[in-house]
Structure 1
Amino acid sequence: MEGQKRRWRSWTISIKLWMAMTLLILVVLGGLGLTITWLFGDFYLQQKLDSLRTEATEVSAQLAAIPSWSEKLSLLETFKLTSGTQLVLLDPQGNILVIAGSSTSKNQGLGLTGPIGEIGGLLGEWSRPLLPSDFFTDDYLAQVLAGNTISIKALPVNGGGQAMLIAAAPVGIKPVKAVVLLGSSPIPIQESIATFRRLIVYASLIAVFLATIVSLFFARQVTRPLALMQRSASRMAKGDFLPIQGVTSQDEIGELAEALNFMGESLKNHMEWLSQQKNLLQGIIESISDAVVMLGCDGSILYANDTARLLWQENDVELQDRKTQIVNYLQKMRQETDQIENNSTLTLGLQVLQVIMAPMTETEGFRGHVAVLRDITASLRAEKSRREFLASVTHELRTPLHLIQGYLEAIQDDVVPKNQRGEYIDLVLEEAKRLARLVKDLQDINWLERGQSIQPVPLDLENFLNEVYQRFQGRAQDLGLTLEVAKGSGAITADPDRLLQVFINLLDNAMRHTPRGKAVRVLFAEDEKQVRFSIQDEGEGIPREALPYIFDRFFRVNKARTRKDGGMGLGLAIVRQIVEAHGGQIKVESDMGSGTTFVITLPKEANYALLEYKSY
């Protein structure tokens, strides 16, 4: 049963409508045919009974008018009965007096016979050897003797349906002298009814066939617009809002198609508006430099912009542990964030994130949370660097100022003897010069960061390296060192003064840390696009742990050394600023006891207008 229901639901509306119309036509025509055949069968039988009754009445009236039985018998010979009709004349006691009639000829004489002995000869042409008197009971005889004319639908003796139609009329009235029985077989009428029924069946079949074709065509015509609208609705569900084509009727179906087209146009406009709003919102979120993460009611990530995905991705590979750490932190923070905004920090290794989370509310209640993760590592480092720089500058300024102040106060208070004042004045002058160098170095760093001090011109490398050698050859001899400077060729685009400042700083450091009898070398190499300088010494070297900080401001490898011996820690910071201002790179290679090598790589032709100057 359940399977039949599913199959019925799976049929198309066209088939259902066609089947319903066909079944309705079949029931109507079948019922009409049955009703008509039943009514006509009864009508023909009753009409035959009425005909027999009339004929029996006429025969009995004519026989009653003749007093003599011989004349009555003669009159019976002149009667012409309907084809298939038999006449039996009974006495008042029900005995057969005369049997007459024929079942084949329609207009032949009665052919009178003897009372009982010749019955078999008279019935030779009947299909059944039965007489009307066989069905005429004593009850029927009593009714006729009472003066009534009756009609009988007689059943056969052995059953099986109607066998004979009988009409009985009295001859004479009080007393009744005889009874006239007229009988006729119902077989011709039944054959006529069967023929009529066959005609009804054939006509019904033809009508059903034609009605099936017409109903199928009508069902298709009715359901075709519905099928078009169904396919159009399916397209609309998939995002295709093309209007419905092919529905031209002006009835309710046409109005429905117009309504669907209007709905599709409205949905299309609404979807375009939503798409524009989505693109606008997504563009705004993606353009935000901070990471934006949207969480659902269950704490799962619904959306994350590119900046957020970079927090747990590296080279398009997802770092599951890092993502899990972020998600767990956000879920924990989500549980603490109810109606108000929450603010905290998350540390991921060396990275520090400021997390701001707020609930996304709607009229029906909370639907999730949005979190903004801002990387404040650089700002924290910048703030730390600023504080350290301010502390370092303050410290570096305070020492020479205190010395100058102390020496001057001692001279002013005559604490220092006159013969020693010149020595103290020299010390004050030396500290003032050191203070001036510090200020100059700070100015250089500021200018380099702002990109205002580079003035590139074509620079001949041979002359430049020769100048470097001439400048430091005398000092190398004084320190007992060997200075080796490679011979260069060609030219680069650079600021000669600033580049010379780089070599001065590096060679000065190299000679200061190289023991007597050792060598300091300046090596040179080039290719098509760049040149490379290497400044090598044979000094004590730099510890590995100090190499990452060697270019930081105010950093000194040996903090026990005096500022007079070791400088203020700004020289290498200035060197890196100058090299990078030229579009180049500098790196250091060193190990304790193996000397130190600074490698400078510069482009031969740099676009200085596009250089980005960095602050450290």
Structure 2
Amino acid sequence: MNKKIKFFQSISFKIVMVFIILLLVALEIVGANFVNQLEKELVSNFKEERTLQVGFLENTLEPILLAENKADIQKSVADLITEFSGSGVIEVRVIDPNYYILGTSDNTKQSLVGRKSTDPEVQQGLLLGSSVTSQYIDPLTNDRRWKLVSPIIADNGTNDVLGVVLLETNIESVYKQINEINIIFLNASLIAGALTIILAQVISRAITKPISEMKQQTIKIAGGDYSGQLLVHGADELGQLSMAINELSNKVEEAQEITEAERRRLDSVLTHMTDGVLATDRRGKIVIINEKAQEMLGISQEAALGQSILSVLGRDTDMTLRQLLETQEEMLFDFSTVDTPLTLRGGFSLIQRETGFISGIVCVLHDVTEQEKIERERKAFVSNVSHELRTPLTSMRSYLEALSDGAWKDPEIAPRFLSVTQEETSRMIRMIQDLLELSRMDSGKSNLQPELTNINKLFDHVLDRFDMMLKSEAYVDKHYAIKRDFTHREIWVDADTDKMMQVLDNILNNAIKYSPDGGTITCRLMETHNLVVMSISDQGLGIPKKDLPHVFDRFFRVDKARARSMGGTGLGLAISKEVIQHHGGKIWAESTEGKGTTFYISLPYVPYEEGDWE
């Protein structure tokens, strides 16, 4: 797609901007450093010059201040500082050690002579015997002023402070000079910037012209036109790139012819294929994927093309392309998710030229999810049934052999052995009946006979039977209690009464089996706006978290030894789940280890009002 590039997005613009930015950065660094150093140098020179003038004045004032005739000091000082002048000097004052002003060069301030000075810098200079400097802004003129207070030290060996000289100068001229230099530097920078833009534009054109030609040529190649050739402008990197593009054009043309021939052959193979088909190049990168394969693998054609076939099939971590080429065996690929099982069987074959050169791989995918599921269920069923039947049969065989060996003659042992044999027989009969019931449900032959049922009374009836059972001799040493927590509103549900009683019996039997002596079984009945929910909670050991998702699986037992000793078949909860699902409801369990388990049953219902019965 030959999309027009805006100027500010072009390489020319970027090159010019790079040059300008580099120039600005360089000028900023050089200029800031130059101006800063210049300012320091000019200010320093100004202050040194004023300091030398004050030093000369101090040397002249020293013998005057040491003279014994004090009456002539003020006149001598006045005559001396009147003649004192210098660049920017505003005023010169001389103050004695007692803070009295001996003289000033400002004619407008002669009235201050003989008065005490209140200037804090003067006081500081006299107290410390050292120079004091300060800079401030004149509030009237807004000019910068620099003040120097320098002590006059006696040169007679006593180092007494004879007074101080206060010099006040206008330093604004120095800063004006610096500003003029800044303006000159700014003008020079603007001229340099303009020249840089012109130079950068010339350089960018020399670079972008060959690039533009390369772009046009690559667009032609992308459109299938391989006839054009780039003009090589030089032997630099751009020239080498131009030669590389010319060579690429020739090779792409050859490759395109080969690819089209291969594609036509593969398309003819895929025309009547109903299974998933993937084809790769010699590097194992997918070049063809039909719609069935996209549907099976859950991937679009755009995402699959160019990807490694091993990566798409999820085998890139445990297998290499070389191993795939060498084995060419059928493999199973499991793409199952939590909600959707999916197992694919892939068959591989090589695409070879007459010379034997391998130019690609073809993979044909078959959906074998149902076959694998049936095979797993068959193996699991045979294993579970064999295991469940072997245990009672082995037990019966042992007891029957004992009876055959003469135990039938013992009046005490024989009845007990026969009783155990009868119990094991009954257990096998129950398991066979449960298996037949599940088989009928799986085949859809177990038809429900729903009728409008008062679920409150049905649940009460089942609990009443268990209350009577807990009072029988079999539980005389146990102290179980059943607690009821029902809604006061009567709830009517379309349900098969016998099947629902079978479900409640299964759950309550389990609750009693696994409840500790003295435990309480809590049964609740509640309603929502469109569901009735029954729950049965025990105070047993609970179900481990890892086992909770499997409690409704066929033949699954959390505590296999205990469940088998209590006569369980491992099918009760599986049957209960099938019954509830046939009613359009749900059954699930929640458990905390060490605290107990709660089974929930929810059934859909439509609330009935009294007017509905009329």
* Coarse TM-score class (shorter-chain normalised): 0.3 to 0.5
TM-score, normalization: structure 1? 0.46
TM-score, normalization: structure 2? 0.46
Which structure has the larger Rg over C-alpha atoms? 1
